[in-house]
Amino acid sequence: MTLIVERNRSLKPFNTFAIEAGAAYFAEARDDQEVIEALHEAQRLGTPLQVLGGGSNLVLTSDVDALVLRMTSRGIRVLEDDGKRAVIEAEAGEPWHPFVLHSLELGLSGLENLSLIPGTVGAAPIQNVGAYGVEIKDVFAGLTALDRESGRLVEFDLQDCEFGYRDSVFKRQAGRYIILRVRFELRRTAELKLEYGPLRQWLEQHGIQSPEAIDVSRAVCAIRSEKLPNPKVLGNAGSFFKNPLVAQSLADSLREHYPDLVAFPQETGELKLAAGWLIERAGWKGYRKGDAGVHHLQALVLVNYGQASGQQILELAEGIRADVADRFGVQLEIEPNVI
C-alpha cells in the first residue's frame, strides 16, 4: 500500500475558513489506486471516509471522526481538438484557478468567467460552480467517478449529473461518488459571456473594446479581488448563501416596499433574488460577533476574523436566515457543506 495515513491531523490548513478542527485519520490520494486504498483502509479501521477537495466550500463544526481523504491528484491533458473545439481533462486534485489559466494559455475559452474561484477541479461539478453568467454545466463534457457502493469506476455525461442551480446528483447523493477527473468542452473561437454589468464596465474603463477570453479572466479576477476577501488573509468560504428563487407574486409584493429590489427573471417564471442585497438591506453587512462576522464589502460572505469556530459561523448564519425570513418572507439556503 502506498497510501500514507496519519492520526489526529489538524484540518485548519485544509479549509479556507481556517477553522481549527482535527481528523481522527488523514491521508492524501495522488491517484485512483490510493483512493481505492483509502476506501479499504477506512473499512479496516471501521471509520467513515470523508473526501476533501480544496476545503473552500466547507464549514467544520467539530473534529471529524473519520478518515479524511484529501484529493491531491494532478494532471491536465487535451483529449480531442478539431481546431474549433477541444475536450480537456483534469484530475480532481488540480487547483481550479491555475487550471482555468492553463486552458487560456492553450488558446481555449469557456472557463474565463470562472476565474479566481477557490477549490479544486473535482469539487466544481458537485456545486455546479458558477459565476458571472457561466456554470460548470455550460462547458461540461463528462467525468469519471468511483462509485463507493459498487466499487466500480463510472462515467457521467451531462444528463447523468442532473445539474441545477448550485446542485447536482453528487450533492444530492452526498458521499456515494468520489470524482476522479473531469472533462470540459472548450472553444478555440471565444463566445464571450459579458451580460454581467460590472464585467462590461471594467472592460470599458480599461479601454478594451474587443475583449478576448484572457481580458475577461483579468476583469473577473479584478472584480472578485475588490469584492471578496482573500481566504489566505481572512478566513471565508466565498458566497455563504444561495441566491433564492421566489415566485413572481412575492417579488412583486417586495418591490412595492423595496423598489430597488435586485431580481433576475428565470426560464421557470420564478425570479432569482440577490441574497447579498437581502442581507445588506437587513442591516447585517459588516456585522461582527466575536471572531465571526459578515464582510464589510460583501454581505454574502461570512468571515472568520481569527478564532471563530464552525459552530459560531453557523449560529451567525442562522441569525441572518431568521431575520431575512422575518423581514422579506424569503428562505435563504446555506451554500457550503457543513461537517
CATH number for the domain spanning 240: value is 3.90.78.10
Active-site residue, 335 included: yes
Prediction pTM value: 0.90
241 with 332, same domain? yes
Please say whether the beta carbons of 184 and 87 come within 8 A.
Answer: yes
Give the three-state DSSP class for 59.
strand
Q: What percent of the chain is modeled with pLDDT above 70?
A: 100
Most confident among 42-51, 225-234, 261-270 (mean pLDDT)? 42-51
Contacts of residue 208, defined as CB under 8 A and 6 or more positions apart, other chains included, come to: 215
Task: Please identify which of the residues 103, 217, 239, 309 carries the catalytic annotation.
Answer: 239
Is 188 in a helix, a strand, or coil? Answer: coil
Into how many domains does the chain fold?
A: 3
Report pLDDT for 65. 97
* CB-CB contact of 64 with 24 (8 Å): yes
Tell me whether residue 99 is in a domain.
yes
Pick the catalytic residue: 89, 94, 112, 335? 335
Span 304-336, pLDDT tens digits? 999 999 999 999 999 999 999 999 999 999 999
Q: 66-122 pLDDT, tens per residue? A: 999 999 999 999 999 999 999 999 999 999 999 999 999 999 999 999 999 999 999
* Contact yes or no for 291/307 (Cβ under 8 A): yes
Q: Which domain holds residue 148?
A: 76-187
Is residue 204 a part of any domain in this protein? no
- Catalytic, 256? Answer no
Is there a domain that residue 133 lies in?
yes
Examine the fold and report which residue of 152, 187, 222 is the final residue of a domain before the chain moves on. 187
Verify that 100 and 137 share a domain, yes or no.
yes
Same domain as 182, residue 90: yes
The grid coordinates listed for 235 are 478566513
Whether residue 183 lies in the annotated active site: no
Centre a 10 Å sphere on the Cβ of residue 291 and count the other Cβ atoms it contains: 15
Asked, for residue 127, whether it belongs to a domain, the answer is yes
Let me know whether 87 and 42 are in one domain.
no
Per-residue pLDDT tens digits for 171-182 = 999 889 999 999
Of 41, 109, 135, 166, the catalytic one is: 166
CATH number for the domain spanning 53: value is 3.30.43.10
Q: Are residues 128 and 165 in the same domain?
A: yes
CB atoms within 10 A of CB 295: 21
For the cut 90, the answer to whether the pLDDT of residue 264 exceeds it is no
